[in-house]
Amino acid sequence: MNVLKIGTRGSALALAQVDLTDAALRVACPELCTEREIFITRGDQKLDLNLLTRGEAGGKGLFTRELEDALIEGRIDVAVHSLKDLPGHNPDGLEIAAVLERAPTADILVSKTAGGLDALPHGAHVGTSSVRRARQIAWLRADIVIGEWRGNVPTRLRKLGERAEVSAIVLAEAGLRRLGCELDLEREILKFDGGKWHATSLAGKMMPAIGQGAIALQIRADREAVRGVLARINHPATMTAIRAERELQRLLSGDCSVPVGVQTELRDGRIFMRGILFSELGKPPAEGQAEGGADAPEKVASELFRKLCGAA
């Protein structure tokens, strides 16, 4: 094939992810031309939805449906997604053909004062639209007030500067770096678009979302030529890790907003997973870990699922 039609959302972060995809394709397939089609998803339009309440089926498919419909209808060849936005089940006829090398998976606390989560004042207001982040923060600091915080990354940072009552927000390190933020975690510095905040990594305190930091390239399953092109930019280690994480997501009913965190590592031909799963408010989360051969990531995910759900 000579031309690859790429579908994407129109946010700055989504376009940065397409830029990374384009760059990888230019190296692997220099003869290939790419075209972009930008979609406005329901999640982009419905900014009044409160995702923390898990309404609208927990936000399932809110940021992916329009791109997937375009794939099914043949209007685009590949959809570029933040993997953590994808539900655990691909729609019939679609598959994830490739993933780019994973970026850092940590969550970052972006705050108006230094010192990170522990230094926030009693009763501080923290903004997030992620159920997973909200539940983990509440477990670590029960006094903190969690509020819904929607919008793309530049909008969230701008709102943080404007809202005096909000002390901090939580964002993904991967997204901040892809947007070209000046991010110095040792000195707690985040600069972006003229603004300056304190930034503290929550790695070691909070587990990331399933698929966090990974860019997924989704296609129609019957498009062999497209699959062949994307195979040339697939990152095998990342694919192994996300196969495990998405199997855990599938077993947990497939909702990308289930309050579960997971950390996955590959070492010496083995895969290691740690997970945390929240159920009812106020109840301690279930925690577990599992390991096994990297050639069977779904099996390791199944073992972790049993431990998290009390069936081990």
Q: pLDDT tens across 187-235, in order?
A: 999 999 888 999 999 999 999 999 999 999 999 999 999 999 999 999 9
- Rounded to an integer, the average pLDDT of 90-98 is 95
Amino acid identity for residue 225 in this structure: A
Contacts of 105 (CB under 8 A, 6+ apart): 172, 173, 174, 203, 208, 212, 213, 263
Least Cα distance to 90 among 215, 246, 237 occurs for 246
Amino acid identity for residue 195 in this structure: G
**Helical spans, DSSP H, in 163-235:** 173-178, 224-231
Of the residues 201, 231, 249, the one at which a domain ends: 201
**Would you please indicate which residues are annotated as catalytic (active-site) residues?**
85
> Domain check: are 156 and 168 in the same one?
yes
| Bridge partners, residue 8, by sequence | 38
> Domain check: are 13 and 149 in the same one?
no
Q: What is the pLDDT of residue 57?
A: 41
Q: pLDDT tens across 12-28, in order?
A: 999 999 999 999 999 99
> Domain check: are 35 and 88 in the same one?
yes
Of the residues 134, 166, 201, the one at which a domain ends: 201
> Domain check: are 240 and 287 in the same one?
yes
Report how far residue 12's alpha carbon sits from residue 68's, in angstroms, rounded to the nearest whole number. 20
Of the chain, the end-to-end C-alpha distance in Å amounts to: 49
Contacts of 115 (CB under 8 A, 6+ apart): 198, 200
Q: How many domains does the chain have?
A: 2
Q: What is the pLDDT of residue 255?
A: 62
* Higher local confidence (pLDDT), 95 or 64: 95
> Domain check: are 214 and 87 in the same one?
yes
- Rounded to an integer, the average pLDDT of 123-130 is 94
* pLDDT above 60 for 59: no
Confidence at 55, pLDDT banded by 50, 70, 90: very low
With contact defined as beta carbons under 8 Å apart, do 87 and 290 qualify? Answer: no
Of the residues 177, 201, 225, the one at which a domain ends: 201
| Residue 141, burial from CB neighbour count under 10 angstroms (0-12, 13-18, 19+) | middle
Least Cα distance to 224 among 57, 77, 22 occurs for 77
- Tokens 């919008």, residue located: 151
Q: pLDDT tens across 283-307, in order?
A: 899 999 999 999 999 999 999 999 9
> Domain check: are 151 and 298 in the same one?
no
Angle between helices 153-162 and 12-28 (to 10 degrees): 150
Report how far residue 177's alpha carbon sits from residue 195's, in angstroms, rounded to the nearest whole number. 15
Average of per-residue pLDDT values in the chain: 91
Confidence at 43, pLDDT banded by 50, 70, 90: low
With contact defined as beta carbons under 8 Å apart, do 174 and 131 qualify? Answer: no
pTM for the model stands at 0.91
- Kindly report the CATH number assigned to the domain that includes residue 268: 3.40.190.10
> Domain check: are 163 and 126 in the same one?
yes
Q: What is the pLDDT of residue 312?
A: 42
What is the chain's percent helix, strand, coil content, to nearest 5? 35, 25, 40
> Domain check: are 94 and 240 in the same one?
yes
Confidence at 88, pLDDT banded by 50, 70, 90: confident
Distance (Å) of CA 22 to CA 35, 179, 211, 226, 233:
10, 16, 21, 14, 10
Q: What is the pLDDT of residue 58?
A: 46
Confidence at 51, pLDDT banded by 50, 70, 90: low
> Domain check: are 288 and 237 in the same one?
yes
> Domain check: are 218 and 304 in the same one?
yes
Report how far residue 83's alpha carbon sits from residue 175's, in angstroms, rounded to the nearest whole number. 12
- Rounded to an integer, the average pLDDT of 234-244 is 98
Least confident of 40-54, 61-75, 129-143, 236-250: 40-54
Least Cα distance to 259 among 284, 283, 279, 282 occurs for 279
> Domain check: are 135 and 90 in the same one?
no
- Rounded to an integer, the average pLDDT of 40-49 is 64
Q: Where are the beta strands (DSSP E) in the chain?
A: 3-9, 33-39, 78-82, 94-99, 107-111, 125-127, 145-147, 168-172, 182-184, 189-192, 195-201, 215-220, 260-267, 270-277, 286-293
| Residue 17 belongs to domain spanning | 3-103+210-308
> Domain check: are 34 and 125 in the same one?
no
- Tokens 């009812």, residue located: 280
Report how far residue 66's alpha carbon sits from residue 39's, in angstroms, rounded to the nearest whole number. 7
